[in-house]
Homo-oligomer: A and B are copies of this chain.
Amino acid sequence: MHPIQDLIAQADQAINREDLETLMSFYAEDAVLVVQPGQVAVGRGEIRAAFEKIAEFFKHGVTVTQESMVVLEAGDTALVLADTHVEAPNSPKDERKATYVYRKVEGQWLCAIDNSYGHRVLEQLP
């Protein structure tokens, strides 16, 4: 298993138990999160605030899991393609074709771009 797969599993567990302190440790300082197609959060501060809103939106019942995953690594950069499931009691199950980019900083893989919506971001183009 690629070490990034383990990091993503740990990040999912942190989301699911709303441990945002731990969750933020997986992101690069200047990371970008696609909050929803057409809306991004930039940097750990904005990303943390976005996850607080996401937790409220799902009435503190969200569960994120990765069903399958491929990691493509090129030096200090890696692209993850994943089948990501987002579930909550107040929302229909959402199966996403997620794309995550990781960057190795001082020997540690950090999430630089978190786009769980994959190509759905193209649907927001003018």
Contacts and interface: CB of A to CB of B under 8 A. Distances in A.
Interface of A: 28, 30-32, 34, 40, 42, 68-70, 72-75, 77-79, 81-83, 97, 99, 101, 103, 112-113, 115, 118-119, 121-122, 124-125
A112 B77 contact: yes
Interface of A is mostly: strand
A81 B121 contact: yes
A68 B99 contact: no
B119 A97 contact: yes
A73 B113 CA distance: 8
A77 B101 contact: yes
A69 B79 CA distance: 17
A31 to B, nearest CB: 6
A121 B97 CA distance: 12
A75 B105 CA distance: 13
B74 A101 contact: yes
A103 B74 CA distance: 10
A125 B75 CA distance: 22
Contact of A112 (B32, B40, B75, B124): B75
